[in-house]
Structure 1
């Protein structure tokens, strides 16, 4: 009888241990769920710079990395930057002027990688003259008003291209025309003699008879960058790293042959068929693997913004760039 009691006691102890161990295993499930990176919302404008994000979504690269990425459309940079300020998005493609301006206004964001502009011509901007104009060189733009959007990447690139072309800053005259479609039409109609346009508008203007004066195909001038809220970087660094690995994979696909994705380009970036089909003026699309923004370029951007009264705070490179995502 004593032996039987001992056997029953041992069985009860073993059963209890198994239940405890089973309970511990069940308790780890929520912890595993918590280890999954939080979803990331990316603000998307209809520009070709965003092509790697659209392609990564289409090909399932975000899913492969185990990260949920929502691509949220915005009609303009103003609406996108407002969404950054309100905490409605975590990331987006912009430029260093936008990064500095948001930080200056209290929205703490960081550039984590170059989008385009790692090599000359990737994020093409061009200064063009009207079809009926005889202006074909930078020196002919001396004191000629150029339609552009003031206090933006448009003005920054215009200043840099024309100073490099031999003009003095005081010889560069500007006509503030914020809305890109209106600026485009004004150039073609001859209502302005010159305008600064990004692609695909620049290429379309050339197709329709505008004259290329100068562009940044020989000079990077400015880079577009992947922008991420610092709060997101601190709380979800692994998720942002996964997102950028998927982005880099899409860039590799684009490097092989970007024009095989013309349908996606037309749908998402709203590039006209006339541009995609042009043989005389082919749309230039090139993407480089993710890398950190150029320090000298960032410092030059900060100096230009301070000279134009656009910054009230002093920033250095590390205030605006975060190397934790891709490192170098």
Structure 2
């Protein structure tokens, strides 16, 4: 009788025990055509997701707006964005957190530059006083511009801005002299310099322009173990990139649309990747304060509202 009961109950015990742990599901990661995402593309190519025991789908989005809308619609679990995106989504009711810094851990990563038009006489920060600078407003673009220029002596009142959110339009306006100055990320910044634009300031000696790995809070609550595995695969890919960055130029050209001549012609443009780490509290606080000053937040967020520290 005891043997019979054990045989009957054993499958139920196994089923119950299996249900007590977190259930592994496919993770959907939103991908923009930017170099920041290279470790995810490399991890997919190398089979690291499968080796870590997770199923990952990389879903392409043409813009940050569409990626963030996918977060809100619960269509993706993770993606790379910036701390302003994390705060903006939380402010609007979409609970997400940063689990790691992607780009911007070391100076030189995720370069942005303020440039003057090739046909202008502007060569210094002082000459930018009251000159409209083309940028994407209420974004990391504006945050970096404010920080770089105020640190070099301009007051907030001295900095004039003009909204040109679409990057190709902004690039063309700068190069054609329709605007006298613009803030551009690489590779557009390097392309502009090659085309004769004057470099006024960039963030190559600081870590202002950080991007972070963003994950929906619901996914973390249900399945942070798989997010931990996702970041292990990501970290393995970063190690591969650090050992030989040039071997992944084909991926950058295909997925991030980086022009071949920028990656091969004397290595004019080189992307740097560091092992992921948590955002520093002072960096998060600086973003929150800037957003409050620009009336971009209803309520002041805290570090714990923005960062999840249990994955790395």
Q: What TM-score comes out, normalization by structure 2 length? A: 0.95
Which residue, 178, 185, 208 being the options, matches 1:221?
208
Question: 2:77 touches 2:215 (CA, 8 Å); kept in 1?
Answer: yes
Aligned match of 1:304: 290
Any idea what SS the aligned residue of 1:276 has?
A: helix
- Closer, same or farther: CA 22–278 of 1 in aligned 2, 3 Å: farther
Q: Distance in 1 between matches of 2:23 and 2:170?
A: 46
Q: Distance in 1 between matches of 2:18 and 2:38?
A: 33
Structure 1 residues 19-28 or 160-169, which shifts more?
19-28
Any idea what SS the aligned residue of 1:175 has?
A: strand
- What is the CA distance between 1:197 and its match in structure 2? 0.4
- What is the CA distance between 1:122 and its match in structure 2? 0.4
Deviation per CA, 1:19-56, whole angstroms, max 9, x where unpaired? 94387258736865875522111110000000000000
Aligned match of 1:286: 272
Question: 1:40 touches 1:68 (CA, 8 Å); kept in 2?
Answer: yes
Is residue 2:183 matched to residue 1:193? no
Question: 2:83 touches 2:211 (CA, 8 Å); kept in 1?
Answer: yes
Which residue, 302, 307, 312 being the options, matches 1:321?
307
Question: 1:127 touches 1:214 (CA, 8 Å); kept in 2?
Answer: yes
Aligned match of 1:235: 222
Question: 2:134 touches 2:181 (CA, 8 Å); kept in 1?
Answer: yes
Any idea what SS the aligned residue of 1:262 has?
A: helix
Q: Distance in 2 between matches of 1:171 and 1:232?
A: 44
Q: Distance in 2 between matches of 1:319 and 1:77?
A: 21
Q: Distance in 1 between matches of 2:23 and 2:222?
A: 12
Which residue, 77, 85, 93 being the options, matches 2:80?
93
Question: 1:39 touches 1:239 (CA, 8 Å); kept in 2?
Answer: no
Q: Distance in 2 between matches of 1:178 and 1:189?
A: 17
The gaps in structure 2 that reach 5 residues or longer are none
- Report the count of equivalent residues: 311
Q: Distance in 1 between matches of 2:288 and 2:263?
A: 36
The gaps in structure 1 that reach 5 residues or longer are 1-12
- What is the CA distance between 1:223 and its match in structure 2? 1.2
Aligned match of 2:7: 21
- What is the CA distance between 1:278 and its match in structure 2? 3.0
Any idea what SS the aligned residue of 2:79 has?
A: strand
Aligned match of 1:181: 168
Is residue 2:105 matched to residue 1:105? no
Structure 1 residues 25-34 or 151-160, which shifts more?
25-34
Which residue, 134, 142, 160 being the options, matches 2:129?
142
